[in-house]
């Protein structure tokens, strides 16, 4: 395939960015999107030009680092896959592909397609954990019976990889889907209920402090989420938040 890539280039956080066009030949349908970018970068390096910076790590859909806005959609046109799992067979010979960083005030651009998502880390640190005494007298988690459908819901919420596609998809740049997945994975289980009220209050406060927008129920986050995280989690977080505030 021969492609026409229009890629956002930005030297650093303070510089102004712009779209640059790169024609690319020899792209195979079996390549992943990131392998296609590797080929472009090899060409650029061979020509003595700066390669395009983009985030990636596992390339297996696990780590959540490969954040790219492709033709206006986070992680591109496929559903339930991350950018690293998107294959070039989803595109046609002669296509123009527009590649941008995730856009949100709380995700400032570091360079080219790389954004700073440490705001997610700070939300997680505000309460996305349980405090367990591990000094030797810990109760085996499996000793507490949990109904299968509850365990399944908690597991589904725990599959959030923190990629930020939900924020990039949302017209309000809301982080409600991410935060609610992190709240839900604990709120659903007895082990998470001890600190449930503090958790939801602290995580929502941090989410607001980071400058994410509000949820207006458009549902774009759920559509673009590579892990199929359900809007149901946002409803659960809202209930948890209301109940925590009523209890004081
Ligand atoms: S909720 Fe989905 S889109 Fe948002 S960070 Fe988690 S995995 Fe990514
Ligand atoms: S590189 Fe890890 S999810 Fe894509």
Quick one: 147 and 238 in the same domain? yes
Among candidate residues 86, 111, 136, the one where a domain is terminated: 111
Q: Is any ligand 2 atom within 6 A of the Cβ of residue 82?
A: yes
- The pLDDT value recorded for residue 139 is 76
Number of domains in the chain: 2
Closest CA to 242 of 188, 204, 213: 204
Q: Helices 232-247 and 176-187 meet at what angle, rounded to 10?
A: 70
From ligand 2's centre to the CA of 135, what distance in Å? 35
Rg (CA), the chain: 20
For ligand 2, whether the C-beta of 90 sits within 6 Å is no
Supply the pLDDT for residue 132: 81
Residue 112: the pLDDT is 98
- Judgement on whether residues 187 and 94 belong to the same structural domain of the protein: no
Domain match, 26 and 96 both: yes
Ligand nearest to the CA of 180: 1
Q: Quick one: 104 and 192 in the same domain?
A: no
Looking at the fold, whether 83 and 169 belong to one and the same domain comes out as no
Question: Of 78, 111, 144, which marks where a domain is finished?
Answer: 111
**220 ligand 1 Cβ < 6 A:** no
Structure tokens at 22: 């790169």
> What per-residue string of b and e applies to 140-161 under the rule 16 or more CB within 10 Å gives b?
eeeeeeeeeeeeebbebbbebb
This prediction has a pTM of 0.96
Residue 220: the pLDDT is 98
- Could you list the mean pLDDT of each consecutive 10-residue stretch along the chain, which spans 248 residues? 98 96 97 98 98 98 97 98 98 98 97 98 97 79 90 97 98 98 96 95 98 97 98 98 92
Statement to judge: residues 107 and 157 lie in one domain: no
Q: Are residues 179 and 121 in the same domain?
A: yes
Ligand 1 proximity of 182 Cβ (cutoff 6 Å): no
Q: At 137, which CATH number? A: 1.10.1060.10
- Do residue 92 and residue 128 come from a single domain? no
Last residue of some domain: 88, 111, 134?
111
The boundaries of the domain holding residue 21 are: 3-111
Q: How far, in Å, CA of 243 to CA of 248, rounded?
A: 9
What is the whole-number distance in angstroms between the Cα of residue 119 and the centre of ligand 2? 19
């Amino acid at each position: 395939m021969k492609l026409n890539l229009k890629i956002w280039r930005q030297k650093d956080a303070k510089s102004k960015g712009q779209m640059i066009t790169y024609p690319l030949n020899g792209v195979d349908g079996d390549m992943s999107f990131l392998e296609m970018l590797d080929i472009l970068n090899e060409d650029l390096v061979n020509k003595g030009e700066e390669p395009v910076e983009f985030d990636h790590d596992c390339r297996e859909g696990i780590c959540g680092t490969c954040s790219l806005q492709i033709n206006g959609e986070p992680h591109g046109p496929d559903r339930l896959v991350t950018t690293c799992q998107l294959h070039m067979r989803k595109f046609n010979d002669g296509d123009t592909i527009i590649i941008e960083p995730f856009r949100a005030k709380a995700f400032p651009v570091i360079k080219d397609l790389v954004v700073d998502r440490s705001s997610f880390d700070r939300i997680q640190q505000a309460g996305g954990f349980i405090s367990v005494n591990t000094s030797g007298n810990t109760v085996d988690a499996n000793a507490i019976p949990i109904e299968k459908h509850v365990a399944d819901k908690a597991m589904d919420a725990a599959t959030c990889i923190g990629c930020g596609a939900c924020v990039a998809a949302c017209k309000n740049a809301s982080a409600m889907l991410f935060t609610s997945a992190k709240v839900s994975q604990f709120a659903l289980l007895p082990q998470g209920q001890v600190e449930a009220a503090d958790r939801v209050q602290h995580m929502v406060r941090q989410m607001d402090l980071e400058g994410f927008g509000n949820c207006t129920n458009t549902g774009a986050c759920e559509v673009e989420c590579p892990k199929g995280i359900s809007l149901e989690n946002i409803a659960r977080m809202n209930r948890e938040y209301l109940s925590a505030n009523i209890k004081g």
